[in-house]
Amino acid sequence: MNAIATTDPIDTPSASSESDERTMAAVAHGLTFFEGGLIGPLILYFVKKDESDFVAFHALQSLYFGLAFLLLTTITCGLGALIFVAAVHGP
């Protein structure tokens, strides 16, 4: 009897599906720079969340980055506006 274990080809991901997952994860991150990182990654997450944990993870990472960037931009621009108004109108 042969002791070599064989794997079922259905259980192992093919190289093309792994490549497709990596490409979709890169698209999720790339969308952050084109549209702000909110809508694109969110859509990609809802489309791929049941198909690929890898893509869903990276889409959520991109979405969280977009949200953090939006929050920090709002805070810094708000503080900058307050400082500018205080400087222009003076005491």
Q: How many whole angstroms separate alpha carbon 4 and alpha carbon 1?
A: 9
* Chain position carrying tokens 């979709």: 24
Q: How far apart are the first and last CA of the chain?
A: 93
Distance from the Cα of residue 12 to its chain's centroid: 26
Got the DSSP string for 2-31? -------TTTSPPHHHHHHHHHHHHHHHHH
- pLDDT tens column, 47-91: 999 999 999 999 999 999 999 999 999 999 999 998 998 888 877
CB atoms near residue 71 (< 10 Å):
10
Confidence bin at 10 (pLDDT 50/70/90): very low
* Chain position carrying tokens 């070599």: 4
